[in-house]
Amino acid sequence: MPALEVLLLVGSVVAIAAWAAMSVYVVRVQRQRVEAHALMDAVVQTLQREDVASLPVGARIHHIKGMADEASREMVMLAASDMETPKEAFETLYGYMETRWPEERLVREAAAHRTGRDKWRRTAALRILARRNHSDAISLMAGAADGADADVAAVAFALLGTSDDPRAADVLIAALLSRRHPASRVAVHLEQSPQPIADRLRPLLQHGDAVVRFWSATLIASDTREPGLEWDLLPLVDDKDARVRKAAIGSLGKIGGSIACEAALGLLRDPASFVRAHAVRALADLQRTDVAGEIARLLGDADWWVRQAAKESLESMGPEVWRVLMPCLEHPDRFVRNGAAEVFQNLGIVDSLIVMEAASDGPAARKIAMLRQIAAAGGVRFADSLVERAGPIVGARIRQLLTTMGLAHVEAS
Amino acid sequence: MTASFFTVTLILALACLAGIASVTVFGALRLGARREDSLALQAPVAASRFTIPVSIILPVENPDTLLHAIRMLMDLTYPEFEVIVVAGHLEGAFLERLSSEWDLVAKEFFYRHTIETAPVHRIYRSNFDPRLTVVSKGSAGRADALNCGVDLARFRYVCTVSDDVNVEADALLRVMSPALWDPANVLGVSSHVERRLEGSRPGGEARDRTTPRRGLLTRIAAPYQHLASLRSLMDSRLVWRQLSGGLGPYDHVAVWRRDAVVQLGGFSTTAADPSFDMMARLQTADPSRIPGHVFRSAEVFARGEPLSVRQAFRRGANRQRAVIETWRATRRVAGAAPRARRDQDKLLAYFVTTELIVPFLQAWVTAVTVVGAAVGWLSWSHAVLAIVLLSFGNATVSGAALFLRAAAPGAPDEIDLKRMLLTAPLEFVLYRPVLAFARFAALGGK
C-alpha cells in the first residue's frame, strides 16, 4: 500500500518537524524570558548598591542606561510595577522610562485595554502611576474601578486601599455604591484604607440599598475611635433586611456599651438564624457573663449554627458560666445537654474536677453528682475522651470512678 | 476487503488525531506565554477579616507523609482556616507521633451529622494550634472521610487535599480567589497539582526526608508523569477558557461550597474518584436548584511526587472508571434549562473527546498497524511509521503544554525543559502502554 506508506511517511516527517520547531521555540522563549529577568534583576541590584543609591536620580539613570537599554518596555514596566522594588530603584526606573518613552504613553496604557497583553500593561501602568503619586493616578484608578474588567478593578481597589490620597477612599465608596463589582471585594480594601472612613460611611447607613447599608454597618466598626457610632447603628438593629441587622449587631458588639448589650439581647429572638448567631457572638465580644443564661438558652436553638455560636460564646466567657450551664445538663433536649457538656469539657472544668476526685480517697458526693451529670450528658465518646486525656495512670482511676458513678457503658466501650 | 476497511479507519483515526492535536497546539500558542494571574495585590486579601474562612479536609492515605502535609497546611498564609485530618483507626505509634508534635488531646465535639458516615471513634484537638482537628473513625474509603470532614467543617467552603502534595504558603489564597471575588456564584474551584520529580539533579529542590526512595521504573516514568500532568493543566486551561467549565485536571485540589456538597448528599462512596464525581454532579445539577458555577484557579496549587508505576497504573484505571461513570451519569441528567443543557453538552463532548476518543484512537492506530503487519495486511514499516507519527505528534502537544507552563512561576528551568522536550517522543512507547493497559483493565473490570 504505497499510498498509505507515503501518507504515514509525510505525516511522520511533519510530526517530527512540528516537534522540533515547537521545542526550539519553547526553549528560545524561555531563554529570552530568563535573560530578560536576569537583566532587570541586575539593574535593580545595581541601583541598590550604596555607591549608586547615594547618587542623584539623573546620575543613577545614567549609571544603568547601558544595561536598561537592552531591556524591553514590558520588562522595565514589570520591574517598576513590582511593589518589592526599593523606592530609590523605582524612582530611577520611572525616570529612565520617562527618558526612553513619553509619559503620556504610560497614562494612555493605564486608561484602557483591549487585548490580554494590553490588560497586563494597564495593570502594570496603574501600579507604577499609583506608586509615583501621579496627578492622574486617582482618576485612572477610578476609571478602572468603574470598568467591567474584574482583574483590572481588583488591582485598582488594592491600590486605592493603600493610597494616602483622601480621594482614594471616596473612589472606593463610589465603587461600593455602584455595585459593578462585588461589594465584599471593595470592602476588603476600604477597611484597610489609611483614610478615616467612619464619617463617610455614616450617611450610607440609611441608604436605600440593603447591601450598601450592610457593608456600611460592617465597615464602620473598623474605626471605633469615632464617637457616637453606636447611636447611628442602633436603628439598623430593627432594619427590615436581616443581613443589615446582622452587620449592625456585629459592629455594636465591637464598639461596646450598654446599648449594644440590650440590642443583642433583643436580637436573640430574631427570626433569622444568622442574626441570632451574631447576637450571641456580640454578647461574647462584650464579655457579658451576666447574660450567659440567655445565651445558654440558645444551646437548644432550632438552627445548628446558632447552637454552635452559643457554645463558642459561652466558652469564651470563661469558667464563670458553670452555674448557668448546670441546669442545661438535665435539659430534655439532647442538643442542650451535649452542648453544655462540651462547654464544660472545653473550659477544663470536667478535667480538673475528675482528676481531683479520682485522686481522692473519699470523693465528695456533690462533685460526684456533678460529674455524673456532665458525663451522662456528654455520652460514651465524651467520657472515653476524658479517660484518654487523663493518661494511662490517672485514666484508669477515672474509669474506675466513672464505673462507680454508674456509668458502666463507659467501661464497656 | 477487511484490509481496506482497516486502512480507511486508520486514515480517519490519524486525521482525527491530527485535527485534535492541531486545535490544542494552536489554542496553547494563541494563549501565548503569558502568566494567567493578574498583578492584583494579594496582601490585603490575605490580611482581611472579610476573606472567607475555609475548612481544609485531609483524609489520611499515607501515614508516612501525613506529618509533613499537616505542617505545610498549618503554615498556609490565609486569615482564617481550620485543618480537619480524617484517619481510619488512628492508634499506636502513629497517634503518639502525631500527638507529640501537635499536643493532641481527645475532646468530644458535637457536630451536625448532615451526611451519614462510618462511626467516629474519637476527635482530637490540638492544644498547640486550635485550628487543627484530628478525627479517628472507622475506615470506609476516601469519600467517607471527606464526608466526615464536611460534617465537622465549621466554615462555608471546604478544601479537599491529598496528603501526598507539597503546597506553597499562598496556595489557599490562590485557589480561593474566584470564590473571594464572587462567593454567591462559586460552587467550587479546581486547582492543578503538578506531579513532578523534585531534586532530580544538583541544584534542584531537596527531597523531603519522608519521601521513600524511588525505584528505577518510577524514575523512568517520572518525566512522563510530569508531561502528562502539564498536558492536563493545558487541557483544563483551554477548556475552561472556552466553555466556562470543565472537569478538572488529572491531579487536582478542589474547594467546594459546603452547602452545595451537602445538598448533593455528599461525596459518593461508590464513585471511582469522589472529587471528580462531585465536580461533574455540581456542573450538571439543575441550576434552579443549585445555582452557581465551578471555576478553576490560575496556575498551580501544589506539587506532588511522581507515583510508582503500580500507583500510576491504579490511578490510570481509576480515572478511566471515573470517566465512564461520569459519562453515564451525565447522560441521564435531565431537567436543566436548555442553555445550561447546551453548555453541559459541550463540556461533555470535550471531555469525551480528550478522555475517551483520543486514547481510543491512539490505541486503535497502534493496534491496527501492528496486527496488520503481523497478519500481512500491512508492512512493518507502516507500523513503525504510525508509531513515529503518534510519538512525535504527542510530543508536539507536550511541547505546547511546556510552552504554557514555562510562563508561570515554578516552571522547569532550561536544562529540565530541554530534557523534557527531548525525551517527550519516547513517552508514547515507554509510558503510554502502561496507561493504555490500565484503561483497558478498567474497561474490563466494568
Indicate yes or no: CB of B110 within 8 angstroms of CB of A124: no
Indicate yes or no: CB of A16 within 8 angstroms of CB of B106: no
Q: Could you tell me which chain B residue has the CA closest to the CA of A339?
A: B110
Percent of the residues in chain B that have a pLDDT greater than 90, as a whole number: 32
- Write out chain B residues lying below 8 Å of A9, CB-based: 385
Indicate yes or no: CB of B25 within 8 angstroms of CB of A22: yes
As a whole number of angstroms, the distance between CA A143 and CA A126 comes to: 11
pLDDT interval class at B334 (50, 70, 90): low
CB-based contact, A34 to chain B, within 8 Å:
yes
Q: What is the pLDDT of residues B73-92, one digit of tens each?
A: 999 999 999 999 999 877 77
Cα separations in angstroms, A314 against A345, B47, B103: 12, 27, 24
Q: What is the pLDDT of residues B155-187, one digit of tens each?
A: 999 999 988 888 888 889 888 888 888 888 889
Q: What is the pLDDT along chain A (413 residues), one digit of tens a residue?
A: 578 888 899 999 999 999 999 999 999 999 988 899 999 999 999 998 888 888 888 899 998 999 899 999 989 999 999 888 998 899 999 999 999 999 999 999 999 998 878 888 999 999 999 999 999 999 999 999 999 998 899 999 999 999 999 999 999 999 999 989 989 889 999 998 888 888 899 999 999 999 999 999 999 988 777 778 888 899 999 999 999 999 999 999 988 877 899 999 999 999 999 999 999 999 999 888 889 999 999 999 999 999 999 999 999 999 888 888 888 988 888 889 999 999 989 998 878 777 676 666 666 777 777 777 888 888 888 888 888 887 777 777 777 777 776 665 543 33
Q: Could you tell me which chain B residue has the CA closest to the CA of A119?
A: B38
* Residue at A327: amino acid letter: P
Cell matching residue A168: 482614594
Indicate yes or no: CB of B388 within 8 angstroms of CB of A15: yes
Choose, out of B10, B396, B426, the residue to mutate when testing the contact with A (most A CBs < 10 Å).
B396
Q: Are A294 and A325 in contact (CB under 8 A)?
A: no
Max Cα distance, chain A (Å): 102
Q: What is the pLDDT of residues B128-150, one digit of tens each?
A: 999 999 999 998 899 999 999 99
Indicate yes or no: CB of A11 within 8 angstroms of CB of B389: yes
Tell me the shortest Cα–Cα distance from B250 to chain A, in angstroms: 24
Indicate yes or no: CB of A33 within 8 angstroms of CB of B395: no
As a whole number of angstroms, the distance between CA A105 and CA B280 comes to: 47
Angle between helices A392-404 and A349-359 (to 10 degrees): 90
As a whole number of angstroms, the distance between CA B175 and CA B153 comes to: 18
Cα separations in angstroms, B430 against B190, B245, B279, B387, B391: 30, 33, 32, 12, 10
- Please give the ipTM for the structure prediction: 0.85
Among candidate residues A411, A413, A7, A244, the one with its CA nearest the CA of residue B369: A7
Q: Are A391 and A355 in contact (CB under 8 A)?
A: no
Among candidate residues A73, A153, A30, the one with its CA nearest the CA of residue B420: A30
Tell me the shortest Cα–Cα distance from B403 to chain A, in angstroms: 5
Interface subset of A 310-339, CB within 8 angstroms of B = 335, 338-339
Of the candidates A8, A11, A385, which has its C-beta nearest B122's C-beta?
A385
Of the candidates A1, A18, A161, which has its C-beta nearest B396's C-beta?
A18
Of the candidates A124, A159, A342, which has its C-beta nearest B109's C-beta?
A342
Tell me the shortest Cα–Cα distance from B394 to chain A, in angstroms: 9
| pTM flag (> 0.90) | no
Give the end-to-end CA distance of chain A in Å, rounded to a whole number. Answer: 77
Choose, out of A381, A384, A386, A389, the residue to mutate when testing the contact with B (most B CBs < 10 Å).
A381
Tell me the shortest Cα–Cα distance from B245 to chain A, in angstroms: 18
Instruction: Give the full edge-to-edge strand order of the sheet including B157-160.
Output: B104-106, B120-126, B132-137, B81-88, B54-59, B157-160, B252-257, B186-195, B293-304, B165-167
Q: Are A278 and A244 in contact (CB under 8 A)?
A: no
- Write out chain A residues lying below 8 Å of B400, CB-based: 22
State residue A287's pLDDT score.
87
